[in-house]
Structure 1
Amino acid sequence: MKGKSWRILKDLVMIFVASLIYGAGISLFLDPNNLAPGGVSGVAVILNRLSGIDTGTLYLLVNIPIILVGIWKFGLRFMGKTMYAVILTSWATNILTPYGPMTTDPLLAALTGSVLLALGIGMVFKAGATTGGVDIIVKLLRKRYRHLKTGFLFECTDLLIVACSGLVFRNINTILYALIAVLVSGAALDYVLYGGDEAKMIYIITEKPEEIGRRIMKELDVGITYLRGSGGWTGNEKQVILCVVRRVQGPQVEELVKTEDPAAFMIVTSASEIYGEGYKDFFAEKL
């Protein structure tokens, strides 16, 4: 029970920090430069120009019906964190507005604001919630289409909203900068959600499997697996070492193999969605 309470507290703190980051991206960079970043925040920016109501307040109002759908589909327990995130984001957006813009360069605003949005959304997702709005729609789509990445789905919905912003702002430069923000945000979000799991999967065919395997386990503190193989030309039986290491450890393995057996044959590939000790939990929810 104590561990569960600690996890909940940790998630709530993460959501609080993420909401401030997200709100900063909107209030300090995107909104004051007339950049509608997509999502409900983009809708709020557009409606702000049409109505004069605070962007943060509009963000909350637009989210209400979408949250009700989320409660129906995901349950009140999951949406409780989301409602907390939406209220905090609305509050953060409003209180930070007087301090913007941090820059009047639309390109810098698009790049910085979109990265802050992606970081905020990614942190909220990792805490088991969403920032409401399009996040909930994306969550629904991810449940049905597991092969589609989160960032890609955000890009599709955001591009539609950016197109609508063109009808309001009637400025091609503003639309193009908003498109840059959407694309950068999608790529950054995928990195936040998936980049940390990316690793290198290495196959090593060598005459010294014990020596190399022992050094990998001792020096890199990672597990290895010995596979049985046979040469296609010679038919000789050999042991093949299989290991998965973090990206930064890849060069260490290469150097280690080179010093132990310069004649070794090594295959290095990128790996993601890795489950097990040291990587993802099998029972953790896939975003």
Structure 2
Amino acid sequence: MEYNYSEEEKAQRKKIKRKQMVKDYFFITFGILLYAVGFNAFILPEKVVMGGMTGASSLLYYAFGLPPGIMLWFMNVALLILAYKALSKQFVIRTVIGVTIISFFIDALRPVFMTHPVITAGEDKFMHVLIGGMLSGAGLGIVFSHNGSTGGTDILVALLGKYTRMSFGRAMQMIDMLIISSSYFLFHSMETIVYGLCFTFVAAYVCDYIINGTRQTVQFLIISKKYDEIADIVNKRMHRGVTVIQGTGWYKKSDVKLLIILTRKYESQEVFNTIKRIDPNAMVSQSFCQGVFGEGFDKIK
């Protein structure tokens, strides 16, 4: 049976949705700005080619002097036209917005960092690649965490997925390797390929950490005779839900109460301190969860 919302509830839901959308686009813009800074300040001056469409656009810049931002926009739009039927309408809209913003920032910031360079010749190139990878990865992580898209090889992968049986991960690796390896024909240097791979790995790791690190939660399973005291403090002071399950200790065949508590990673030490203060002899199991969705945690998106 479908629930019929009142006019007031509909207005409230629209207001919340609008607020969330404004928040998402703010962080998407900030994330793209961070990515563009890492790319322009540390990667472009070192002539490193990474994976993705940004790597392809930088190849065109190194070879022919074509503006990387504009080339990135045209390549993404061309891919979107080719793969339009394989993509959702929402993905296309968000990708066009994301690609337009990233293309603007890349070309707008390029002359700034050319006039006022952050790095100088002779400095550690590997360190520059690491910094650029971390900034770019952090920027992409923020974008993806707020339902944004920068297009790129995601579109190609969607297109390949429609006409071939190739997995997402393998298709992404193949395309990135092809773009990075293409730099050899321009620079005739294996070192450039290695730097491009290092950037891609670092950016991917940081991006994954940003997306999943904030979602990491801790699950506690606690068996204690003073379960009610522990549950009350966690519930009232930490404002975290507690589930109490009736169990049986098989060794003594006695009834026990099992507490299930889910908290953020940074709150876990407070739970430990609470247990130690109330019942040092309690049996505690701690495990990490990749993500918890629902009331008090992340929303299902």
Give TM-score, length-normalised by structure 2: 0.83
Give the structure 2 partner of residue 16 of structure 1.
Answer: 29
1:28 corresponds to 2:41: yes
Residue 222 of structure 1 deviates from its aligned partner by 0.5
Bigger Cα displacement from structure 2, 97-106 vs 30-39: 97-106
Q: Are the structure 2 counterparts of residues 83 and 271 from structure 1 closer, same or farther at C-alpha, using a change threshold of 3 Å?
A: same
Aligned to 2:219, which of 201, 205, 220? 201
The alpha-carbon deviation at position 214 of structure 1 amounts to: 1.1
Decide which of 106, 112, 127 is 2:146's aligned counterpart. 127
Residue 23 of structure 1 and its aligned partner are, at CA, apart by 1.5
User: Conserved in 2, the CA contact under 8 Å of 1:70 and 1:79?
Assistant: no
Which segment drifts farther, 258-267 or 58-67?
A: 58-67
CA separation in 2, counterparts of 1:228 and 1:272? Answer: 27
Amino acid at match of 2:141: G
Q: Does 1:54 align with 2:67?
A: yes
Structure 2 Cα separation of the partners of residues 126 and 55 of structure 1: 25
Distance in 2 between the 1:222 and 1:141 partners?
A: 45
Superposition deviation, residue 164 in structure 1: 2.5
List runs of 5+ in structure 1 lacking aligned partners.
none
**Map of 2:4 onto structure 1:** none
Mapped contact 1:78–1:128 kept (Cα < 8 A): no
Question: Partners of 1:116 and 1:221 in 2: how far apart?
Answer: 35
Q: How many residues matched?
A: 278
Larger radius of gyration: 2
Q: Deviations over 1:50-102 (max 9, x none)?
A: 22211112211221222224532334443222112111211111111121442
Rounded Cα–Cα distance in structure 2 between residues aligned with 1:220 and 1:129: 32
**Structure 1 consecutive aligned stretches of length 4 or more whose deviation exceeds 6 Å:** 139-143
Alpha-carbon contact 1:154-1:186 (below 8 Å) kept = no
Aligned Cα RMSD in Å? 2.6
Q: CA deviation at 1:225?
A: 0.7
User: What is the Cα deviation at residue 11 of structure 1?
Assistant: 3.0
Opposite residue 118 of structure 1, the aligned amino acid is G
Is the contact made by 1:217 and 1:223 (CA closer than 8 Å) also made in structure 2?
yes
User: Please, which of 51, 56, 60 is the counterpart of residue 43 of structure 1?
Assistant: 56
Confirm or deny: 8 A CA contact 2:36 2:102 kept in the other structure.
yes
Q: How does 1:1-287 map to 2 (within 5 A)?
A: 1-98=14-111, 99-100=113-114, 101-104=117-120, 105-137=124-156, 157-282=175-300, 284=301
Native 8 Å contact 2:218 2:268 kept in 1: yes
Relative distance call for 1:260 and 1:138 in structure 2 (3 A) is farther
CA 1:10/1:207 → structure 2, altered by over 3 Å: closer, same or farther? closer
How does the TM-score come out when normalised to structure 1?
0.87
SS in 2 for 1:162: helix
What is the rounded CA distance, in whole Å, between the counterparts of 1:54 and 1:102 in structure 2? 20
Query: Deviations along 1:174-207, whole A, 9 cap, x unmatched?
Result: 2222222111111111111111111111111111
Which runs of no fewer than 5 residues in structure 2 stay unpaired? 1-13
User: How far apart, CA to CA, are the structure 2 residues paired with 1:142 and 1:258?
Assistant: 52
